[in-house]
Amino acid sequence: MASQKGSIISLDARPSLPGIFAETIFTPKKSASLKKSFFIRPIHPKTAILPTPEAILKFLGAGWVGQLKIHGHRAQIHISSDPKEEILVYNRHGRLHKKALTGSMKKELRRVFLPKSGWNVIDAEWLKPEERLFVFDFLRKEDILLRKLSYLERWKLLPRAFISPHIQTLSVISTLEACLEALKNKSDSIEGLVFKSASPGFEDSSIVRCRKRIDSRT
């Protein structure tokens, strides 16, 4: 209500002009923008085991699973449900990669990992010259942080039944024979294996490295 004291009129006395001070059916609606997706501290192995059957069996017997360790650039990839939002790719130190994803890589990431709402965050190794991404973990699904899940539970949420020229979801390895066979791979892009715990969370203690044995005669 307008009030008048002497020659001073309160601001409440201003007439309401449609489209300027008051919302009408013609007033543009503000679009609801998504919250920014922030870097999640990734799991990083601090310990290693020898590539021997005895050492590997000890971890497999305790419920751990193995996986190829790709020799690439760590890439934590944040994908928004809003196609106007840029895909964010962080390195393991929490800084954005200087090299940009190609247009076809972005298209494939959205095709395979686009969330229905919010953000999806996946962890991968990026072979930059080959324009390949090897995805191995799901950290956040539609804005839900997956810290309460074990690694295998998170891995099962990753899409795997797809064919892509740029993206591959790494398999898990649960037998000694398959682990030893993987360690024989002579490709320079494969460092060896990592073993991941059945415990929930993103702790460094839930992962160990197992490098390929280097023959000193070669």
Residue 136 burial by Cβ neighbours in a 10 Å radius (0-12, 13-18, 19+): buried
Q: Which of 8-12, 165-169, 201-205 has the lowest mean pLDDT?
A: 8-12
Top pLDDT among 71 and 3 is at 71
What span, in angstroms and rounded, lies between the C-alpha atoms of 56 and 175? 9
Cα 183 versus chain centre, distance:
26
Looking at residue 6, what is its pLDDT? 46
Amino acid at 199: S
pLDDT tens figures, 54-110: 999 999 999 999 999 999 999 999 999 999 999 999 999 999 999 999 999 999 999
**Predicted local confidence at residue 24, as pLDDT:** 52
Q: Could you tell me which residue, 25 or 188, shows the higher pLDDT? A: 188
Residue 17 scores a pLDDT above 80:
no
- Per-residue pLDDT for 26 more than 70? no
Q: What is the DSSP string of 159-190?
A: --S---SSEEEPPPB-SHHHHHHHHT---TTE
Q: Which helix (H) or strand (E) holds 203?
A: none
* Residue 213's pLDDT band (cuts 50, 70, 90): confident
CA 76 – CA 41 distance, rounded (Å):
9
In order of their start, the domains of the chain are: 53-211 (3.30.470.30)
d(CA 56, CA 208): 11
Name residue, tokens 């017997």.
61
| Average pLDDT along the chain | 87
pTM: 0.81
Kindly report the number of other CB atoms within 10 A of residue 176's CB atom: 15
Instruction: Write down the pLDDT at residue 72.
Output: 96
